[in-house]
Amino acid sequence: SQTIHQWPATLVQPVGSPLSLECTVEGTSNPNLYWYRQAAGRGLQLLFYSVGIGQISSEVPQNLSASRPQDRQFILSSKKLLLSDSGFYLCAWSVMGVIINGYTFGSGTRLTVV
């Protein structure tokens, strides 16, 4: 069966520090991969998605970047964190295909920038 792993679960980082969040998927090939951010009490904002290795689509211009170095690995990064980067970061995957199926979300990373 397919599983998605996301780490770390919680993170407290100072303003201006770098960030690296990792997500890996097991049990499937060629997944669509996604990074979403959820501010406290708010909805789900799409940050990046990827339909293949090295293919990244950015939804919101900001100081974050994403990379997909391997088929089932998706990394979210920042060179210098801002206070506004605080939030709940969720990785998700879906089956590759013409029609989107439901996502499966990872357990999330709660990031607090201080």
Partner 1 sequence: GENVEQHPSTLSVQEGDSAVIKCTYSDSASNYFPWYKQELGKRPQLIIDIRSNVGEKKDQRIAVTLNKTAKHFSLHITETQPEDSAVYFCAASPSDTGRRALTFGSGTRLQVQP
3 makes contact with partner 1 (CB under 8 A) = no
Contacts 24+ apart (CB under 8 A), 51-54: 51/96
Q: Which stretch binds partner 1 (CB under 8 A): 12-20, 63-71, 72-80, 98-106?
A: 98-106
Rounded distance between C-alpha atoms, residue 88 and residue 9, angstroms: 10
* Three-state secondary-structure class, residue 8: coil
Nearer to partner 1 by Cβ, of 77 and 108: the residue is 108
Among 3, 5, 15, 59, binds partner 1 (CB under 8 A): 59
Q: Which stretch binds partner 1 (CB under 8 A): 15-23, 37-45, 64-72, 78-86?
A: 37-45
7 makes contact with partner 1 (CB under 8 A) = no
Sheet with strand 64-70: strands edge to edge? 3-7, 19-26, 73-78, 64-70
Do residues 78 and 91 touch, judged by C-beta distance below 8 A? no
Nearer to partner 1 by Cβ, of 18 and 38: the residue is 38
31 makes contact with partner 1 (CB under 8 A) = no
